[in-house]
Structure 1
Amino acid sequence: MVRQIRRRWRTRIAIRGMAIVFGAGLLAFLLSAYGLEVARFSASSVMWFRGILWFLVAGLTARFLIWPLARRVSDEQAALYLEENEPTLEASVLAALETTSDLSQTSEALAQGVVESALQRARDIDFGRRIEQKGLYRASGALAAVALGSLALLLLGPTQLRDGAAALLFPTRDAEAVNPYSISVAPGDITVARGSDQLVTAELLGFETGEAEIFFRGESSDAFDQLNMITDGAAGFELLLLSLNETTDYYVESTGIRSATHRIDVADLPYVEHLDLEYDFPAYTGLPSRTVEFGGDIAAVRGTIVKLRVFPTMLTPGGQLLIDGEPVALTDEGDGTWTASLTVERQGYYEIALQRVGGELVEASPQYTIDVLRDQPPSVSFTEPGRDERASPIEEFYLEATADDDYGISELLLIYSVNGGPEDTIPLFDGPATQEVTGAHTLFLEDFGLESGDLVSYYAQVEDSNRGPDSRPAKSDIYFLQIRPFRLDFRQAEQGGGGGGGGGGGG
C-alpha cells in the first residue's frame, strides 16, 4: 500500500511537472518565434533565441521534473502523506510501520494487532486510491490541453510559427539555412566587358514588399552606394548598372532581408558600344524607311524588317544576333561594324553575342524587347445627313461619308438595301492608300420606283490598306430613309405658298 502511495505521488509530480514545462516552453516558444519574425530570422537572432529557449526548457525540466522525482521518499514519509490526506486512519499506518521496524520492542501479538487494524482501516479507504485523484485529473487535463494547443498552433497557426519551430526546435541545423526569407539575385557572380551595362534582377522568396534596394561598390570605393530597384511587372525587381569599368561588389536588401554579396568582374571583352536600327516598313503603311541611331528596343507593326548595325568596342572576329535564343550570324561590313536583319513577327527579345580572339562567344549587349504594334482598325461615319431621314419618292438624297486609318484607306463603299432586299454597293473611293478619305454620292430616289412607306437602309464600309492577318473591314452605323407620301409634301408646300400670298395681299 505504501509503495502504491509512493508511485501515485511520483506520477502526480511527473504529470504536473511536464504540464508546467510544456506550458512555459510553449509560451517561451511563441515569444521566441515572434522575436525571430521581428529580427527577420537573422543568424545571430536564431542563435540567441535558440539558446534562451533551450536554457529555459532545461531549467524548468530540472526544477519541476528531475529534482522532485530524484528525492528519496521513505516509507514513513509516504505514510505521513497518506495520513495527512486520509484523517480517518488516525495514524494507524504510522503505528504499524513503527511496530514492525527492527528497532521496535513491541510484542509480536501487539504488533500483529496494530498491523491488522491498519489494514482494516486501509481497506475502508480503498488503500488510498482516492488520494490525489483530482490532482491527477487536473494535471493530466492541463498536460493534454497544452499538447493539443501546441499541435493546433503548429498545424493551423500562421506560417511564421512553423518557420519558428524549424529554426528553434532543431538546434543542430545551420542558423542561416533555417531562414525562410531570402532574396535570389541574378546574375550572381559574373564577368562582363569593360564599360558594359549589366541588368541585376532580384526575386523575393518567402515574403512580399513593394521596395528593394541594391547596394554596390567599385573596387576604388570604400562605401557602398545605394539605389532603389524598380519592379519588373511581376513579383521581382530589377536595375541596370551602367558603364561598369571596374570590379564591383553588390547585394540586394529589402525590409531587413539581405542577399549574399556577389561580384561583377570586369575584363577587356568585346561589347556593343551602340546599335543603329534601320526600319523598312510594310508597303501598305506608306511610311518611308527610318534609321534610329543608338537604338535598342524595337517596336513596329508586323512585317517590318529591321536591319541592325553593331558598333563593337573593339575588333572582333565574329558574332551572332540571338532572337529569342535562336542565333543569326552577323555579317562583317569591313569597317569594323557588323550587320544582321530580323522581321518583326511576334513579341520577343533579342541580344548580341560577340566572339573573343579565341573564338569564344560572350554576351555583348543587354536583352532588348521586340514589340509588335497592332495596326488599329479604320473608322468610318456619315457626315451628311448622319441621322435617319424622311424623303419623298422623287427626291435626290445626298450622302457623304468620312473614313480614317492610322496607315491608309484603300476602299470606301456605300452599301444600301430597299425594303430589306439584296444589298447594292457603290464605291465612294478606290484609289491609292491615304490616311483620310471623304466620299459622297447622291441617291436619285425616283429611279428606285419607291412608294410611300418604303424603307431604304444604308451604311458605309471601309477596307484597311493592310491586307495582312491584322486587316479587318470597319462599318459605320446603319441609317434608314423612310419614304413619305408625295401628296402630303404637295399639300404642305401648297399651304405654305397660299399663306405667303395672303400675307402679300395684306401688305
Structure 2
Amino acid sequence: MKKHKLQTRLESIPLPIAKALRQLLGRTRKVILIRGICAVIAVFVGMTLIAMGLDAGILIVSPITRWMISAVIYIGTAAAIYVFLVAPFARSFTLAGLAHMIEAHHPEMQERLSSAVELLTTSDDANVRGSQKLIDALTEAATADAESLKPKNEISMKAALPFFAAAAAFILIMAAIFAVFPRKASFLLARATAPFANLPNIMALDLEVRPGDVFVPRGERLEINLSSARGGIRSAKIQRTLDDGRVSDDDMRRTQQLEKDKAQCFTFAVTSVERNFTYRVQADDAITKYYRVTAVTPPVVESLDLKIDYPEYSCLPQKVEANSTGTVSALAGSVATISIKVNKPCSSAVMKIEAAKPVSIQGEPDMSRSGECRIVFRLPLTSGLAGIYSIQLTDDHGLKNTKFERAVQALADIPPVIVITNLPQKEIRLRPDDHFPFYFFATDDVGLKSVEILYEKDSVKLMPRNVALPKNPSEKEPLRKFEGNPVINLTDSDLRGVRRLMFQLVVSDNLPENLKGAQKGFSEQYVLVIDDNAKSFKEQALQSQEEALKNQLQQAKRELEESKQKVPFVKEVASKNEKKPEQLSERTGVLRENLANGDATLRNLSEKLSDGFFDDVSKKINELHDAELSKAKGLTDQLTLAESPEERNKLLEDITKNIDKAIAAIDDMLKKSETASKAMEHAVEIENLANRQEDLAKQKLDIDKLQAAAENAANMDPELKKKLEEWKKRQDNLADTLAKLAREQAPLSALKNSAELQEAGRIAEETRKLNEDQKRLAESAQKISEMQKLDKKLGELAEQQNTAAELAKSNMLKEKTAGLLKEKGESMEAQMRAQTAELEKRQAAVAEEAKSIAAQVAKELPSESKIAGEAKDSTGKAKDSLHNSDLGSAVKNAAEAAKELNTLTDRLEAAAASQIDGGKDDSGKNSPAHSPVSQLAKKAGDVAQAQEMLQKEIGALANGTPLENLVAQQENIEKRAEELKKDAQAFQMNARELNLPQKSQQLAAEGENNLQGALQNADNAGKSLGKMAEESRQMKLDPKKNPSGNLPNELKQAQDSSAKSLDQAAAKMAEAQKAIDDAAKNLPAQQAQSKEGEPDLPAASALARKAAVGQDAIDAIQSAESLNSAAQEAMAMAAKAGINTTPGKMSSVSSGGRNDNAKKAPPGFDEIARRMGIKYDDWLRLPGNLRSEILQSSASEGPEEYREIIRRYFEELSKRGMEGR
C-alpha cells in the first residue's frame, strides 16, 4: 500500500527528480540487505563456532543442554535477522526524506530539492501552497540539481564493510576447521545445529557399538559390545531407557586389560530381551548416540504336514502325514510336498539341502487353507538324494527362525532278490529224461515284473524261459513276493540231448526304463549233470530221506534201549528204605540224559522229515515226544522227590512201560515206513517210465516232422534213418522194461477193466470190416473182368472188318460191334455209378467224423477251431461234389480235406504231447488214462488217413477208368492189412510178455500169421490189378492187342485168398479175446479185490509195445498218458501207505544222490545270517512261515523288527527245553 502510495507521488513530480529519488531508494535498500546478511551470517557462524567449541571442550550428557545451546544459536541468529534485516526494511522512506538525505550531502542545493518535492506532493489547497510560478521556478532548479546526482556517490557501501568482514572471518575460521578436521567439524556442526539428531559426542566417534539398532527375538539373550581403537578408556557404562520411561545405568564389563595403545573392549549382556528399549554407552567423556532394541517374535514353524506322491510305476497310494516329524524318506522318483504352518508372514522362505549336490527350494504361500499362514515346499526326491534339509524363514525385520533341520533320503528302488531254497549243492546228477523240481523265493520292495530261467546247454546259451507270475488280487497293487515251484523237464525239445545244463533264475522288477530300469536280481548258478546211469531226482531225494529215517530211528531206538538198561541201575538205589538215598539223584540224571538223547534224536529227525516224503512219520514222532517220552522224562524228575521205595519203584515201572511203548512205536514206524517206501519207489519207477515215454513221444513228433520234410524233398537223410532206428530201439527197451514191471503185477485183475487190453477184439472187428471190403472189391473186379472180355470181342470184330472176305458182311459186323459197344458203355456207366455211390457213402462218413472232430476241438482246444472247421467244410464239399457226380471238384476238395486233416492231426498231437504232464484235474482225482486231446488226435489221424485213400480212389475214378479206382482201393486194403498185422504183432508180443493165458497167446500168433498171409495175398491182388490196368491202357492205344487171359483168374484167386486169410485172422483174434475175457471172469474175487487201486500197467505196456511196433507218435503219446495215469494210481497207493507224495522238501540230495550235507546252508543264507545273527541249525528250527517273512524282510531292507522276534522265539524254545528236562 505504501509502495503504491509512493509510486503515486513519484508520478506527480518531474521525471528527473523521480528518477534520482528511485535510484537513491534502491541503493539504500541494497546496502541495508548486504549489511544485514553479513551480520546474520556473522552472528550464526560465530555462535555456532562457540557452540562447537563448547561441545568439543566440555562433556554434555543431557540432551537438554544440547537443545539450550542450539536454542541460543538460533535465537541470536533470529535477533540478528530482526535487527539487521527485518527492522531496517520495515522502516518507510518518504520522498521528502529521501530529498533531505541527498541535501545533507549537498548544502549547495539549499533545500531546493526537498522543498520542490514537498510542494509538488502536498495535498494542501493551492491557496495554501503559494505562488505557482515560484513553485515552478523552484521545481526547475530542483530538476537541474537532480540531474546532476549519482546514487553510488550519495549512498556508500562502507556501512556494510564491518559486517562483511565479521562474516568473512567467521566463515574462514569454520572453513579452516573443516579443512583440518573435516569429520569432527561436520560432526560438531551437526550436533550444534541439530539437537534433535541422535548423534554421539565427538569423543565417541572412534567407539564401535555392536549390535547398534537391532531387532531381537523376544526372550533371547542380547550382548552389547563396545570397542575402541584408542586406548585410555578407564570405564564404560550403559544407559537403558524402556518405553515406559524407566532408565537404568549399568557398568559394562571390560573384556581386555587396560594397556596403552591397545584396543579397549567392554561388554554388557541382557539375559532375556522381553521389552523394547533404547540405550547408549558412555566411555569416560565419550557418549554414543542412542540405539534402539526392538523385541519381536521371530518366525516359528508351528507344525508340518507331509504328503508323498509316489512314482506311478510303484502303484503306491499317496501318503499323507498330518503333524509329521518332518523326516522325509521315500522311494526315489517321489515328490514330497512339505506344508509348514508359521506364526507370522515371512518375507522369505527357503529350503536348503546339504548334500553332495546342494539344493535350494523357494517356498510358496499355501492358499489351500484359509485363516492359516502356511508355506509349501515341493521337493522332488531324485535318485541319490540324501542329507539334511533345513527350512530358513526370514520376517520383515530380517529375523530368522530357530534351527529347523530334518533328514531327507530318496530311497533307491532296491534290486529284486531271488533265492533257490531247496538246493544246498551246486551240482546235481540226473537222468536225461528226468523232471527236476525246485523251489524259489523272489521279492522286491516295489513290485515284481518277471521271473525267468536262464539256461546254458553244453556251454551254449538258450532262450530264457519265463515263469508265470500269479495275478495280484488287487490290480492296483503290484506283486511284491512270490514263491514258485517250476519244473525243468529235460525231455523238452530245446533241452533234449543235453549233457551239462547250467541254470539260473533272474528276476526283474517294474522300475521303468527312464529310471534306468528294469533292475535284475540273479540266483546262484546250478549245474545239472546228465548221466544215463543216474537215479532220478525224486529217487535220490527219497533214498536220502529213507536212509536218514532208518539210521536215526535205529539210533533213537538204541538210545532208548540204553535208557531201559539204566532202570535196574537206578532201581538198585531207589529200593533202599531211605527217604533220600545217596546217588539216587546222580543215577536218575544219567537215566534222564539217555532219555533226552533219544528224544533229541527223534526231534531232529522230525524236523528233517517235516514236509518231506515221510511227513507222516514226522507227525508220529511229535506225538511220541508229546506222549511217552515227555511223560517218561517227567517221571524221572519225580523220582528224586519220592520219599518211599515203593513209590520210587512204581515210578520206575511206569518209566519202563513208557520206554517200551516208545520202542514199539519206533519199530512200527520202521516197519510201516519200509512198506511205504517200497510203494513210493514203485510209484517213482512208474513215473520215471512215464517221463521216458514222454520224451520218446516228443522225439517221435520231431522225427515225423523231419520225415515229412524229407518226403517233400524226395530224399531221406541217412542221419534221419539213424535217428528213427535209435528211437525204435529206445521205445523197444521201454516196452520191455514196462512189460517186465507189468508181469510182476499179476495183470489179470487189470484186464477186467482195461480198455487198452481189449485189443484182440478190436483187431478182430477191424479185420472183419476189412474182409468185407476185400470181398466187395473182388465183386467189382469181377465186373471189370467182364468188361475186359467185351473189349476182347470188340477187338476181334475190328479184325474181321479189316478182312476183305468179310467186306460183304460188314453191315452185320457193324451191327454186332454197335451192340457190343452199347453193352460195354452201359456196363461202364453202371460201374462208374456204383463206384461213385460207394465213394460218396464213404466220404459222407468221413465228413460226419470231421464234423464231430470240429465240435470237440472247439470245446477242448479252441485255438485249433479254425483248421478243424476248414477240414469239416472241405470234407462236406467233397461229399457234395460226389453227390453231383462232379469228380473233378471232388478230387480237389478231397485233397484239401486230406491236407487240412493232416495239419489238424499234427497240431493235436503236439498239443497232446505238451499236455502229457497234466495228470490230475482240479479235484485231485485221477483223470482218464487218455486226455481228450490225444483221443482227438488219434481220431483225426484215422480220418485223415481215410480221406487220403478216398482222394486217391476219387482221382482214379475221375480219370475215367474204374480199373484204376480198383487199384487204389486194393492199395487201401493192403495198407489197412499191414496196420492190422502190426497191431496183431504188438498184441501177440504183449500177450507173451504179460503171461496172458497160453491159449490167447497161441491164437494171437495164429491170427498174426493169417494177417501176414492176407497182406501177401492183398499185395498179389494189387499187382494183378496193376497189370490189368496197364493192359487196359495199352488196348486203348492198340485195339488189336489181346488182354492176358490169366490175370483175371490170378486176381480172383489172390483176392479170395486174402479174404479167406482175413476171415481166419478175425476168427483167431476173436477167440484170443474170448480166452482173455474168460480168464478175467474166472479170476478169484479175493485176488481181484486185493489188486484194487493198482496202476493199470498192462494197458500202459500194451500201448508202449504198440508204439514200438507201429512207430506212431500218437501211440507213444497215449502210452505216456497211460503211464502218467498209472503213476498217479501208484502215488495214491503210496499215499495210503503213509507217504507224502507231494513233498515240499526235496533238497536232501548230493551230487550222487546221498545226503552227505544235510545241514549245509543254501546259497543266499550268508547275508541273512549276517543281518540276523542266526546259525543255520537254529534257522531250521524256525517255523516255515516265519522263515518266509524273514526272507522277505531281509530282501526289502527291513529286518530290524524281526531280531527281537527271533530272540524271543529262541528264549521260548530254551524255556520249553528246560521245562522238558
TM-score scaled to structure 1, two decimals? 0.41
The structure with the largest helix share of the pair is 2
TM-score scaled to structure 2, two decimals? 0.19
Larger Rg: 2
